[in-house]
Amino acid sequence: MSRVRCTVAYVLFLGILGCVGVINGLGVNWGIIASHPLPPEIVVQLMKDSGIDKVKLFDTDKTVLNALAGSGIEVMVALPNVYLANMASPDKAKAWVKQNVTSYLGPKGVNITYVAIGNEPFLQGYNGSFVNVTFPALKNVQNALNDAGVGSKIKATVPCNADVYYSPWSNPVPSGGIFRPDIVSEMKKIVDFQDKNGAPFIVNIYPFISLYLGDGAFPTDYAFFDEISNPVTDNGRT
């Protein structure tokens, strides 16, 4: 049997995504916009009891971060989209990093390892509002982390929506893929900067959403990471 290495992220309370082989970490997304939010200490305890050692937040909520302090759980904090434009100023980025990231570090602090810059800022539904403000925010926040002396441990990265990728229907294989034409110049700046800083590229892929909300062209076989999916052969790779 082939050994598959993967990091599984699943939405808390929605279910576990099955994954065959070696799992090197289990993480959840923790959003706090809810009709009946659980107290943060209870959520942290639930994570510990379930062996979940990584969490992705969508902001830098103080009560959530205080509950995570000392837990050892690896945390991705986030700068929400509405603050991206502000971070065009390096001084504002510095102040944000100081207040919302580095102030939580320390021996009994929060184990922050990533800062998400926006959340899916290039969704077409945003009409381009965040296209020109995302890269400057990424750059200024990572530079602020570097200047604060934590850049080797904490990486800034942009969680992209899946359709930052574009592959022509005439050649729908991975090697035929490029970035979406309207954002290709920003995407190139982003991946180049992230590469220079040793930061990961992140893309949120929800094939079941593509299946149910898309135009019907999404292949069912690929929606559920099913072992019986039709394999794709591309340049000799399967």
Ligand X SMILES: *[C@@H]1O[C@H](CO)[C@@H](O)[C@H](O)[C@H]1NC(C)=O
Q: Cβ 227 to ligand X, closest distance in Å?
A: 29
Q: Cβ 52 to ligand X, closest distance in Å?
A: 11
Q: Is 197 in the site for ligand X (CB under 6 A)?
A: no
Catalytic-residue membership of 186: no
User: 139 phi and psi, to 5 degrees?
Assistant: -65, -45
Q: Is 119 in the site for ligand X (CB under 6 A)?
A: no
What mask of x and - would describe binding to ligand X in positions 82 to 111, judged by CB under 6 A?
Answer: -x---------------xx----------x
Q: Is 126 in the site for ligand X (CB under 6 A)?
A: yes
On the CB side of 6, CA atoms within 13 Å amount to 12
**From CA 111, how far away is CA 105, in angstroms rounded?**
7
Q: Is 59 in the site for ligand X (CB under 6 A)?
A: yes
Q: Cβ 10 to ligand X, closest distance in Å?
A: 17
Residue corresponding to tokens 């979406």: 180
E-assigned strand segments in the chain: 5-11, 22-30, 54-57, 74-79, 111-117, 155-157, 159-161, 165-166, 178-179, 202-204
Q: Is 60 in the site for ligand X (CB under 6 A)?
A: yes
Amino acid (one-letter) located at 180: R
- For ligand X, the binding residues (CB under 6 A) are 59-60, 62, 72, 74, 83, 99-100, 111, 113, 125-128, 131-132
